[in-house]
Amino acid sequence: MPEGKVIITVAPTGGVGTKQANPALPTQPDEIANDVIRCCEAGASVVAVHARRPDETATCDPDIYRDINARIRAGCDIIINNSTGGGPTGEMVGPITAGGVDTGDVEMLWGERVKGVEAGAEICTHDAFCANTYLPDGTTIVMNASLQRSRELAQAMKDRGIKPEWECFSVAQMIDPVRLIEEGLDEPPYIFNFVLGAHKNIQGAMPWSPKTLVAMVEELPKGSIFTVSGIGPAQVPAAMGSIICGGHVRVGLEDNIYYSRGVLANNLQLVERLARQVRDMGLEPATPAEAREMLGLPRQPAVQQQKAS
């Protein structure tokens, strides 16, 4: 537990959830920024942004990301992370064709995903693996990040001074990140996000268990810093497990739309509970400046808060 500080990441939106499932889900730039600024005041020091189009389908459109990022930055100095995963809807997906013929399968379009690095984020997610994701309607979507694609994305981040956040849903998904790190495409501290409990929606994703988390922590390269995203009911136990293992924590409606069984949450409630849990463990939520130091980010002057006076 470095210096007794825990970095709280809020993931307010994600690429999958809908306002139908939880009306508190922020999808538009102003909604996202409002939520994030409140979560930052409650103790969040990183925001994992996903962008949505006005019709709420997923996008990695840099213009929309830039709009969201600017609105957040106008209100607080939280660290901004933009997703290069996007989501399984809208312009992010397209049919897989072979010889010009539609195979009936659908994939997340790589050309859309990589646009996520163009909006000025300090961190971008890097999902360096191939997997099938399952939608509630039964559709299977292929996420294809071959080693070569992963390498190109890492290079694109390096060229732009963006820190990659290596997202791993299983121990095996740590292999390509470690390989790319060894190739020199990232510098310490390496940032890993372990996503546990996503097995209902992503093939090969590991359920949350203390044993799995311990195994993943042991596979980390030296000089790494990690956070854990527990999906659905795994959110709270995975958060506690992460802290016990010396890691950091992500919460938010992207990963879990409930506060407790049957009770919908909002982002602020999830952050407030986590901040209380962190303090009850004798630790303190990191400020954005402290989190930048721990994550090896260039310190940026805190943006003066726009107070509604």
Partner 1 sequence: MADGKVIITIAPTGGMGSKEMNPALPTQPDEIAEDVFKCYQAGASVVAVHARRPDHQATCNPDIYRDINTRIREKCDIIINNSTGGGVTGDMVRDVGNGDLEIMWDQRIKGVDGGAEVCTHDAHTIVGQFNGKNVFVPTPPDACRELASMMKERGIKPEWECFSLGHMSDPLTLIKEGYDEPPYIFNFVLGAHKGFQGALPFSLKTLQLMVEMLPKESVFTVSGIGPAQVPAAMGAILCGGHVRVGLEDNMYYERGKLATNLQLTQRLVRQVRDMNLEPATPSEARDLLGLPRTTAH
Contact footprint for partner 1 (CB under 8 A) = 210-211, 213-214, 233, 236-237, 240-241, 243-245, 260-261, 273, 276-277, 280-282
Residue type, position 204, single letter: G
b/e per residue 84-115 (b: at least 16 CB within 10 A): bbbbbbbbbbeeeeeeeeeeeebbbbeebbbb
Of 89 and 212, the one with the shorter C-beta distance to partner 1 is 212
Of 200 and 279, the one with the shorter C-beta distance to partner 1 is 279
Rounded Cα distance between 123 and 114, Å, is 13
CB of 233 vs partner 1, minimal distance in Å: 8
CB of 232 vs partner 1, minimal distance in Å: 12
Token representation of residue 263: 């009770």
Secondary element (H or E) of residue 250 = strand 248-251
Of 135 and 264, the one with the shorter C-beta distance to partner 1 is 264
CB of 20 vs partner 1, minimal distance in Å: 24
Give the residue from 209, 205, 222 showing the smallest Cα distance to 167.
Answer: 205
CB of 214 vs partner 1, minimal distance in Å: 5
The position carrying tokens 């897989």 is: 96
Q: Within 13 Å, how many C-alpha atoms sit on residue 256's CB side?
A: 30
CB of 42 vs partner 1, minimal distance in Å: 15
Of 74 and 214, the one with the shorter C-beta distance to partner 1 is 214
Give me the residues paired with residue 155 across strands: none
Of 2 and 237, the one with the shorter C-beta distance to partner 1 is 237
Of 19 and 276, the one with the shorter C-beta distance to partner 1 is 276
Of 95 and 210, the one with the shorter C-beta distance to partner 1 is 210
Handedness of CA 266, 271, 277, 279 (dihedral sign): negative
Rounded Cα distance between 95 and 113, Å, is 15
Rounded Cα distance between 72 and 41, Å, is 12
CB of 281 vs partner 1, minimal distance in Å: 5
Which 3 state secondary structure label does DSSP give 2?
A: helix
CB of 104 vs partner 1, minimal distance in Å: 41
CB of 261 vs partner 1, minimal distance in Å: 7
Rounded Cα distance between 252 and 265, Å, is 9
Rounded Cα distance between 174 and 260, Å, is 31
Of 23 and 282, the one with the shorter C-beta distance to partner 1 is 282
Token representation of residue 163: 């820190």
